[in-house]
Amino acid sequence: MCQRALLAFDFDGTLAPIVAHADDARVPDALARRLAVLAAAQPLAIITGRSVADVVGRLGFRPWTVVGNHGAEQAGVPLRPAPALDAVRSLLAGAAPMLTAAGVGLEDKGLSLALHYREAADPEAARRAIDALLQPHQDAGSAVRIFGGKMVVNVAPADAPDKAHAMRRLVERCGVGAVFFAGDDANDEPVFSGAPPQWVTLRVGPDGHGTAARFALPGPEDMAALLDEMIRLGDL
């Protein structure tokens, strides 16, 4: 399966356009058709902050594998408890009325927590409330790692694998030297910055100033032309 290039894609903002309600996000049919052609010929992985169970029904094609929870969850491997998150879970449970009033949605994905504020009436105020609440867990010796995304704050165990770990694991499984990875957000940057020079890395979206990726694409709507080129070069 892994004799050709490994193609790896983030989901939200990379294959699926960012939408007002995260539950509405899907890979557009036009992209799913092209991804299916590529996935039939070479290993194609999805590496997302979503849980595996959440993302698989949004793809519209069957990839080789899916990695969820920002790199910590492998498809087919049962989730183990993440006790490092328990103190933050308790904190958030106690602050639930305040978070709800601020328009913050809490998502517990087992191996990570997400505080979404895209739907808040005042997103900046919601973000400040989240930051103030999590401040006690921000120090360097914390059991958790807190990192932002697009209108979301994520909390993961400090020692959980990130997307860069996940990519290295996939490359080892595949035994390939040719690697492509596309992502659009802060949690994709460790892949870009840690990539060996022969990897092709792509930051998607208009807000990638200062990215460590080698290449940039204006947005997911430009992905179809890129996939067409991959299909053409692969003679698929």
DSSP string, 79-116: PPP-GGGHHHHHHHHHTHHHHHHTTPEEEE-SS-EEEE
Draw the binding track, 6-35, toward Mg ion (x: CB under 5 A; -: no contact): ----x-xx----------------------
Give the number of residues written for the chain: 236
Residue 54 binds Mg ion, judged by CB under 5 A: no
Cβ nearer to Mg ion, comparing 12 with 73: 12
Q: What is the three-class DSSP state of 194? A: helix
| Of residues 157-196, those binding Mg ion (CB under 5 A) | 184-185
Cβ nearer to Mg ion, comparing 162 with 184: 184
Cβ nearer to Mg ion, comparing 14 with 42: 14
CB of 57 to Mg ion, least distance (A): 17
Buried b (16+ CB within 10 A) or exposed e, 125-161: ebbebbeebbeebeeeebebbbbebbbbbbbbbeebb
Q: How many other β-carbons are positioned within 10 Å of the β-carbon of residue 78?
A: 7
Give the gyration radius of the chain's Cα atoms. Answer: 18
CB of 15 to Mg ion, least distance (A): 9
Cβ nearer to Mg ion, comparing 145 with 185: 185
| Of residues 94-153, those binding Mg ion (CB under 5 A) | none
Cβ nearer to Mg ion, comparing 10 with 54: 10
CB of 177 to Mg ion, least distance (A): 26
CB of 98 to Mg ion, least distance (A): 28
- Distance from C-alpha of 188 to C-alpha of 11, rounded to nearest angstrom: 11
Task: Specify the DSSP class assigned to residue 187.
Answer: G
CB of 176 to Mg ion, least distance (A): 23
**How many degrees, rounded to 5, is the angle at CA 90 between CA 88 and CA 92?**
70
Residues lying near Mg ion in the complex (CB under 5 A)? 10, 12-13, 184-185
